[in-house]
Amino acid sequence: MDIADLLSSDGIVLRGGASSKRQALHAVAEAFASATGMDAERAFEALLEREALGSTGLGSGVAVPHARIKGLEQVCAVFVRLDTPVAYESLDDRPVDLLFALFAPTDAGAEHLRALAAVSRALRSPELREQLRQARTVDAIRALFVKDVSKTAA
């Protein structure tokens, strides 16, 4: 699974502004709408439904929210970096500042799971997390995922 193929530059947002988990998820939904042209409110509701099943906060300041979206044709991703971490009910109780969200068609089974596994594996790297926090541009963020994918494929 090639993370870089799922993540367009339009789906990368470097922003502050969120003061809660709900606002952070809203920022993710807005990034999804910007990248796909689909409805942000529908994405937001789908993210909230998934979070109601259990937090997608993995720990170390990282969350991987995900949802299935009716009408979406392929798995896609967005990345939101918050200037100020927010409480997220993560496994380690640390606040989250890096959100890598995945959206999948309602009928995407194994492909969605492979994408989740690839993203979770990549974001376990303390080095990658630090580079994501230090990167200053959308292109730099995207390049880190391209680099990380090529490193794990070798």
- Closest among 80, 72, 69, 70 to 11, alpha carbons compared: 80
Contacts of 38 (CB under 8 A, 6+ apart): 32, 69, 71, 72
Which CATH number covers residue 62? 3.40.930.10
Give residue 55's domain range. 3-149
Q: Is residue 26 part of a domain?
A: yes
Length reported for the chain: 154
Q: Within 10 Å of residue 30's Cβ, how many Cβ atoms?
A: 18
**Is-catalytic flag, 26?**
no
Q: Is residue 48 part of a domain?
A: yes
Domain total of the chain: 1
Q: Is residue 134 part of a domain?
A: yes
pLDDT tens for the chain, 154 residues long, are 678 889 999 999 997 669 999 999 999 999 999 999 999 999 999 999 999 999 999 999 999 999 999 999 999 999 999 999 999 999 999 999 999 999 999 998 788 889 999 999 999 999 999 999 999 999 999 999 886 554 544 4
Q: Which of 21, 26, 66, 142 is catalytic?
A: 66
Burial class of residue 5, CB neighbours in 10 A (0-12, 13-18, 19+): middle
